[in-house]
Chain A
């Protein structure tokens, strides 16, 4: 189908974009890559009155690289991450993730900030950014605030982003040279949305270990017991720990098949990280 009638503006600065958004509230949506929003408009599940095009705002395409972290502007594309055209704080994890996310034509336009803002439960970035303990910087009419990505997504397409806020950037702490990661996405065809997704990050130098599941019927699911077992390197106890974590997540209503998929991806990702 075709998108419904809509107005369009392309502001020249982030401040102008925030102002436009605050003035029109529910009527307006920001558009970054449009790779989800235009599809939703074509399907008529999104019917905004005004599109505020933020894709080219210099504040949102900037990348800052300091000693501790890399800060990616929200409008950095999946393809730029895939090609490592920008600094990579994750020692190869993020390029690997990007290379299997959707298809190249979509990666060329789709953005990391758009992906996080939308928080599709089957999307990669919310889970991967949670595993990397990243922080999102949100900008609204009253100023800025930062939020851990682990707290940003609250459910299926649900986040703590206010209606008048824009994701400005994402700050990702650099992994140390000792860090190891594992990443497994299960899908039937390359580039499809995941049916199961696991990310494991272990960084002994930072004293940091985290096992996270995506495509988990809600926000990314941090597996606490599994993270502890991985930190101890006790692979023999891993499967039981993953099952315990999944049992505790009763509110996700996983069926047997999903439980099996999640266990398999978590185990494989942990093995990758620890091997």
Chain B
């Protein structure tokens, strides 16, 4: 039992319908954060309602649209399918937290240049997903990028400009890396 998990020691009391709050400590965009949350609270609602980080969007709340994608321990995850209490002792990064990140910087620039957003609802998660594709070297061709974006729905752009922007950012970063060598 981890200390911060809090409540395994106190046996589950079947008679009571009162739900206990669970203490969590997470590292959120680089800062330590502690809170007491009802277990049913999703990570997405924790971020939006308790931390005012509204760059994380909710579309479907069952894993399909990808709008809520954030990083958990450095890896993309659906914040609608993670309970905030299950993020105890984990690191979470949201779109508000990438200041100075070279990949996100490049993507922001190319999304802007190529008009890769219209309403912007899908954009924070598109950026986080695209960053992961680039870092895992899965953005080598339009086809690969489209495959990697299958879990992120955009209802506006038709994807063409998003794919172009990601391909361009990936190329820029590869060139930058080659020049640095």
Contact = CB atoms under 8 A, between A and B. Distances in A.
Given A104-B151, A105-B151, A79 B11 contact: no
B1 A10 contact: yes
B39 A8 contact: yes
Nearest to A13: B1
Given A28-B12, A108-B75, A103 B5 contact: no
A190 B7 CA distance: 40
Nearest to A38: B81
Contacts, number: 123
Interface string B37-77: 01110100100000000000000011100100100100111
Interface string A88-106: 0000000000000011111
B78 A105 contact: yes
Contact of B85 (A8, A190, A192): A8
A11 B62 contact: no
Q: Is the interface of B mostly helix, strand, loop or mixed?
A: loop
Interface string A226-270: 000000000000000000000000000000000000000000000
B129 interface: yes
B151 A103 contact: yes
Contact of A23 (B2, B11, B39): B11
Contact of A42 (B7, B39, B61): B61
Interface-central residue, B5, B20, B22, B69, by most chain A CB under 10 Å: B5
Nearest to B82: A34
Contacts of A191: 150-151
Nearest to A33: B81
Nearest to A189: B150
A105 B76 contact: yes
